[in-house]
Amino acid sequence: MTGEREDVDALQSLADAADWPSEQVLQVDWAAAERRLGYRLPGDYKRLVERFGKGTFDDGYVDLHLPEDLAAWAAFHEETGALPWASNELELVYCWLTEGEDPDAWPVCVMGVGEDVGDRFDCTATELILRVLTDPQHPYAIPADYTSHWFVPEGAAFRLVAPGI
C-alpha cells in the first residue's frame, strides 16, 4: 500500500484528470459513520469523499458511494469479505478486501455484483479510480474514445457525451 503523501498526490492527480477544480471539503462525521458501520474506513477514502462527495466519474463508469451507502452492502460484505465503496453501470463493484485490522492496508478489488471473487489490486481507492480513467492498459479501463474525464456530483445533469468525442 502507499503512504498518505502518495494518496494525496493521487487525489490531486485524479482531480486534475477529472477536471475537478473544487477544493471542497465535504463535512463528514467520520467517527459517527464508523460507529454506525462497526469498522474504521481507510483514510484515502475519507479524503476522496471529502474532495468529491457522492457522484459519478465519466457518467457511470465509477459511482462513488458515501459512508451511509456502505451499510446497504452489509450482507454482500458478510458473504464475500469485500466491502463496496463504488459501483458502476456495468454492474461492477469496487471494493475493499477487509483483511486485517488496519483499513489503510486493505487492498481493493473489482468484481461483478453476483461474483464471490474479484480482481485484486494493491492500491488505494483513489489510485484505482485514477488508473481506470487514465491507464488504457488497465483491465477495467474506460473506453479509449474517452479522451477526457469528468466528475458529476449527485443531482447534477450527466454530460451524456464525453468531451472530445
Q: Which CATH number fits domain 4-149: 3.40.470.10, 3.40.1580.10, 3.90.1150.10, 3.50.50.60?
A: 3.40.1580.10
User: d(Cα 138, Cα 159) in Å, to the nearest integer?
Assistant: 24
Distance CA 78, CA 16 (A): 36
Q: Collect the ranges in the chain with pLDDT lower than 70.
A: 1-8, 115-116, 155-165
How much is the pLDDT for 90?
87
How is the chain split into domains, by residue range?
A: 4-149
CA torsion, ordered 3, 131, 58, 111, to nearest 10 deg: -90
pLDDT of residue 8: 60
pTM given for the model: 0.87
Check residue 165 and give its pLDDT: 45
Share of the chain above pLDDT 90, in %: 58
